[in-house]
Amino acid sequence: MSAPPRIGFVSLGCPKALVDSERILTRLRAEGYDVVGSYADADLVVVNTCGFIDDAVHESLEAIGEALAQNGRVIVTGCLGAQPEKITARHPAVLKVTGPQAYEELIAAVHEQLPPLHDPYLDLLPPQGIRLTPRHYAYLKIAEGCDHRCTFCIIPALRGRLRSRPLAEVMPEAERLVRAGVKELLVIAQDTSAWGRDLRHATGFRGGRPMNSSFTELARALGSLGAWVRLHYVYPYPQVDEIIPLMAGGQLLPYLDIPFQHGSPRILRLMKRPARTGNTLARIRAWREACPTLTLRSTFIVGFPGETAADFEQLLDWLREAQLDRVGCFRYSPVAGAAANALPDPVPEELKQERYERFMELAATISASRLAARIGSRTRVLVDGVEDRLAIARSAAEAPEIDGVVRIADPGTLRPGDHAEVEITGADAYDLSARRLAAGAP
């Protein structure tokens, strides 16, 4: 068995810092790191700093300099980490700076620089963690919480404000998943395209190179891992325009899941939806021009309080014009604690049902015609399952669980997790059928 990775640790400052050090060391020991007493024996040194008064700042900077001189691989954390520029200005060679109480970020930085050993006899967890999805796809949650206040939703009250997971956490997790055999990453958050806003788009590092904590940069980095990358719960903020070229260029799947929720500006205002202003139909047209293979998925709510017949017709017109590929719809139902409950003019249940049926009928017609247009085309698919001489697969245009599937007759040796080239031979309202093409077929 290989030797465990060895960490040197310098703890400076007050008892609170000491407790932080103990907590970090406990976690590292539990993960199998050896904590060693000299710089020479360590593979990496963590310096937990103090920045309370000038003397403490001086002492911390000296300690970082000593660790760099004697070991060379240094991560800095603690109170002085709240002012990273003070550290990097004097010691640009430090590998990473994390702030006080940023335990997860620090542990992620240690993992990135010095991965823990995976011992199949002792570790209860596989390297990719425990996942409930099949081996070949995985959800990658990039943030918690939400800064919006949509009137029908209580998630911000339940989960709090937006907290983006730092780059040092998200990228190593994505890399681990891909190394463990994941072929498709499904990127999720309550508001995926807001990622990094609460981090003030701080600069992080990937592979030693600086990288902004912006949604576009993250999408680009994820797109470089060699797996399919699918974006869910994206709001149409202006920066979404920047990721369309990544889709057209093949780095990201040309698939956008944008919960538009309605087509009437009046209802969107009542819903207090993010990015509700601006002409979404014009944006959709521009996206499709830039990336003709783009698949658009969305969800809608019918029967929102105050929705008039005219609002509903406007929604249908919007959908006819938008020609979305995949659409889900909910009848509005009041959630305890949601602000929308106080809005006047609730829509009667029978009317909600009637509007739901009309909406879904139109959505099915659009879906059927868009799928029929794919007959005869060739596409790459990822196989989810094989049963009774039939493979159930998906192309870039189908997300698992929520969209339709591509059924391949006579799949031969195909197994779950395999990619295959197919020709689309048939379509119904939601699913496609296909035949497998021989490898290298013209």
- Assess 201 for contact with ligand SF4 (CB under 6 A): no
Tell me the closest approach of the beta carbon of residue 374 to ligand SF4, in angstroms: 31
**CA nearest neighbour of 434 among 298, 424, 144:** 424
Residues between 264 and 293 with contacts to ligand SF4, criterion CB under 6 A: 274
Cβ closest to ligand SF4, residue 150 vs residue 382: 150
Sequence-distant (≥ 6) Cβ neighbours of residue 393 within 8 angstroms:
381, 382, 383, 384, 405, 406, 407, 408, 414, 420, 422, 434
The answer to whether residues 435 and 389 touch, using CB atoms and an 8 Å cutoff, is no
CA distance 40 to 46: 14
Cβ closest to ligand SF4, residue 80 vs residue 150: 150
CA distance 6 to 310: 68
Cβ closest to ligand SF4, residue 126 vs residue 278: 278
Sequence-distant (≥ 6) Cβ neighbours of residue 17 within 8 angstroms:
11, 48, 49, 50, 78, 79
The answer to whether residues 283 and 241 touch, using CB atoms and an 8 Å cutoff, is yes
Tell me the closest approach of the beta carbon of residue 1 to ligand SF4, in angstroms: 46
Tell me the closest approach of the beta carbon of residue 392 to ligand SF4, in angstroms: 30
Cβ closest to ligand SF4, residue 76 vs residue 150: 150
Cβ closest to ligand SF4, residue 151 vs residue 425: 151
Tell me the closest approach of the beta carbon of residue 153 to ligand SF4, in angstroms: 3
CA distance 16 to 4: 29
Sequence-distant (≥ 6) Cβ neighbours of residue 375 within 8 angstroms:
424, 425, 426, 427
Sequence-distant (≥ 6) Cβ neighbours of residue 357 within 8 angstroms:
none
Size of the site for ligand SF4 (CB under 6 A): 10
CA dihedral defined by 225, 231, 232, 235, rounded to 10 degrees? Answer: 140
Q: Which two tokens stand for residue 215?
A: 């949604």
- The single-letter code of the amino acid at 305 is P
Binding string, residues 387-416; x marks residues near ligand SF4 by CB under 6 A: ------------------------------
Binding string, residues 104-143; x marks residues near ligand SF4 by CB under 6 A: ----------------------------------------
Tell me the closest approach of the beta carbon of residue 190 to ligand SF4, in angstroms: 4
Binding string, residues 142-161; x marks residues near ligand SF4 by CB under 6 A: ----x-xxx--x-xx-----
Tell me the closest approach of the beta carbon of residue 154 to ligand SF4, in angstroms: 8
Tell me the closest approach of the beta carbon of residue 145 to ligand SF4, in angstroms: 8
Cβ closest to ligand SF4, residue 254 vs residue 305: 305
CA distance 288 to 323: 11
Cβ closest to ligand SF4, residue 124 vs residue 336: 336
Phi, psi (deg, nearest 5) at residue 110: -65, -45
**β-strand 6-11 against 44-49: which pairing, if any?**
parallel
Tell me the closest approach of the beta carbon of residue 38 to ligand SF4, in angstroms: 50
Tell me the closest approach of the beta carbon of residue 213 to ligand SF4, in angstroms: 20
Which of 169, 191, 384, 398 touches ligand SF4 by CB under 6 A? 191
Tell me the closest approach of the beta carbon of residue 329 to ligand SF4, in angstroms: 15
Sequence-distant (≥ 6) Cβ neighbours of residue 66 within 8 angstroms:
39
Cβ closest to ligand SF4, residue 65 vs residue 156: 156
Tell me the closest approach of the beta carbon of residue 163 to ligand SF4, in angstroms: 13
Cβ closest to ligand SF4, residue 16 vs residue 149: 149
Which of 113, 190, 298, 379 touches ligand SF4 by CB under 6 A? 190
CA distance 11 to 358: 66
What is the widest separation between alpha-carbon atoms in the chain?
76
The answer to whether residues 194 and 162 touch, using CB atoms and an 8 Å cutoff, is yes
Binding string, residues 49-68; x marks residues near ligand SF4 by CB under 6 A: --------------------
Q: Which two tokens stand for residue 106?
A: 């620090």
Judged by the rule CB under 6 A, the positions of this chain that interact with ligand SF4 are 146, 148-150, 153, 155-156, 190-191, 274
